[in-house]
């Protein structure tokens, strides 16, 4: 039997969690209007407002270029969380230390409620949950921590440098998986860089015509469970044990 999925890991490898919602705007200037509304609706939670480089791109150019259409223009920062806003996108991110799904999903639902009630959004197009983990168990970093066999000709790709991207469709979701080894990451406020195997899982749920915000809220937990299942399925049993898993019930 496969082991149960842990509730959490004591040696948490998570670098950042992010929920992104892409949408069709009911009017222009959403990126100009939403920050003030959110700042007022969430007093003292995100006190810092940062104008991002994409804010200087002319709107007609950004609207027509698919690479720019969903780029955020403004960021609201507070503690280890941030809201990013563009003309057709809004996201909420949480850096290490991760607050846990219960707290993070509550903040996501609060954000959804505020944005939905503004009337600025015509309809959501898709939402996604992205988890970026850095597994630091070996030096030099090795793909041996993953449930992955990679070979090119006669060469085993294990401790060699590698960048891998693939897409897996499963039960109405699209999981975009990226693996980089070795990889380095830094956390604002922490002086040291982290080095290990980067595992990036972006789980996307399209919103079909006729669906609405209610589908986003209802399926948040579904997408989270699918992403979590994918993450643990990509780790070897030894890696999971070394990350010190915690389960609902005591293990024999």
Distances (CA, A) of 76 to 83, 124, 190: 5, 21, 20
More confident residue, 45 or 212: 45
Predicted confidence (pLDDT) at residue 192 exceeds the cutoff of 90: no
Predicted confidence (pLDDT) at residue 248 exceeds the cutoff of 80: no
pTM over 0.85: yes
pLDDT digits (tens, 9 = 90+) for 9-30: 999 999 999 999 999 987 778 9
Tallying the residues shown for the chain, one arrives at 252
pLDDT digits (tens, 9 = 90+) for 94-132: 999 899 999 999 999 999 999 999 999 989 999 999 999
Q: Which helix (H) or strand (E) holds 24?
A: strand 14-25
* CA–CA gap between residue 120 and residue 127 (Å, rounded): 17
pLDDT digits (tens, 9 = 90+) for 49-69: 999 999 998 888 888 888 899
Average pLDDT rounded to a whole number, residues 84-100: 95
- CB contact set of 65 (below 8 Å; sequence gap of 6+): none
* CA–CA gap between residue 23 and residue 126 (Å, rounded): 7
Name the band, by pLDDT with cuts 50, 70 and 90, for residue 1: very low
69: which DSSP letter? T
């Amino acid at each position: 039997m496969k082991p149960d999925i842990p509730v959490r890991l004591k040696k948490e490898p998570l670098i950042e969690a992010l929920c992104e919602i892409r949408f069709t705007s009911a009017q222009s200037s959403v990126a100009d209007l939403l920050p003030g509304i959110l700042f007022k609706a969430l007093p003292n939670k995100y006190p810092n407002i940062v104008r991002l480089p994409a804010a200087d791109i002319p709107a007609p150019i950004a609207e027509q270029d698919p690479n720019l259409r969903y780029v955020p223009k403004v960021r609201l920062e507070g503690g280890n969380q941030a809201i990013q806003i563009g003309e057709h996108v809004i996201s909420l991110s949480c850096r290490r230390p991760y607050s846990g799904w219960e707290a993070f999903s509550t903040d996501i639902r609060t954000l959804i409620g505020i944005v939905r009630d503004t009337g600025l959004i015509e309809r959501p197009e898709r939402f996604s949950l992205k988890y970026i983990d850095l597994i630091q168990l070996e030096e030099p970093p090795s793909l041996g921590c993953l449930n992955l066999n990679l070979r090119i000709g006669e060469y085993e790709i294990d401790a060699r440098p590698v960048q891998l991207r693939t897409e897996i469709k499963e039960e109405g979701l699209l999981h975009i998986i990226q693996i980089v080894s070795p990889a380095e990451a830094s956390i604002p406020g922490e002086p040291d860089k982290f080095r290990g195997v980067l595992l990036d899982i972006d789980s996307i749920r399209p919103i079909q015509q006729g669906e609405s915000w209610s589908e986003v809220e209802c399926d948040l937990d579904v997408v989270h469970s699918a992403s979590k299942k994918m993450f643990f399925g990509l780790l070897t049993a030894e890696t999971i044990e070394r990350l010190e898993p915690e389960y609902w019930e005591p293990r024999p």
